[in-house]
Amino acid sequence: MNILIVLTSHDQLGSTGKKTGFWLEEFAAPYYVFRDAGANVTLASPAGGQPPLDPKSDADDAQTAATRRFKDDPQAQAALASTERLDKMALARFDAVFYPGGHGPLWDLAEDPASIGLIEAAHASGKPLALVCHAPGVLRHAKGAGGKFLVSGKKVTGFTNTEEQAVGLTDVVPFLVEDMLKNNGGLYSKGPDWASYVLTDGNLITGQNPASSEEAAKAVLHLLA
């Protein structure tokens, strides 16, 4: 079982001068779900190397059992520091693809041709494709059968407008995940803000927020089983 985790390389929070990147818990929880299931996990990002960590996800109040495990795991830290380049990744190598969120993906992965191509190929192949929190935003330009938006007619979720409002970034992000999924024809639904909410439609798995990352990873394993 070979699983690809795709992380952002973007570290600027719009024009605020603040840093962003990937959300630690959304990487760590799935990473250990997959590793504990015996999977080989490959990490990739557009630029390769160390992806930027959203500093807010490293704060004390954002820590979970998975993030604490990561901080005590030199092997995992070394793997994260040396991600492969996304444009060198061939889907044929992998059984499933997982995208953690954080705000970074809205700027780079949503527009990255290698990411869009990988998503479209994974979906067409029937391989599990999972995206959590802001990562469903990277489906923005992806197309499915007949040239329709990939999310069109599919049950999807992602970071809610009210969650974005709560973190004060509604006017900073390049687009709102909830609005984009709806505008692209997705059958968007959500659970309570900050609670785990995961949807599976065929081989497409989406999670609403950081709390959804472990459940989304388990949904990948369920499809692979």
pLDDT in single tens digits along all 225 residues of the chain: 999 999 999 999 999 999 999 999 999 999 999 999 999 999 999 999 999 999 999 999 999 999 999 999 999 999 999 999 999 999 999 999 999 999 999 999 999 999 999 999 999 999 999 999 999 999 999 999 899 999 999 999 999 999 999 999 999 999 999 999 999 999 999 999 999 999 999 999 999 999 999 999 999 999 999
Q: Token pair for residue 220?
A: 């990948």
pLDDT number for residue 145: 85
Longest dimension (CA), the chain: 47
Cα(160)–Cα(44) distance, rounded to whole angstroms?
Answer: 26
Q: Which fold has domain 2-224?
A: Rossmann fold (3.40.50)
**In angstroms, how far is CA 67 from the centroid of its own chain?**
16
Supply the pLDDT for residue 27. 98
Hey, where are the domains in the chain? 2-224
CA distances from 76 to 80, 120, 210 (A): 6, 28, 19
| Helix, strand, coil percentages, rounded to 5, for the chain | 40, 20, 40
Work out whether the CA dihedral 127, 96, 8, 43 comes out positive or negative.
negative
pTM of full prediction above 0.95: yes
What is the per-residue pLDDT for 38? 98
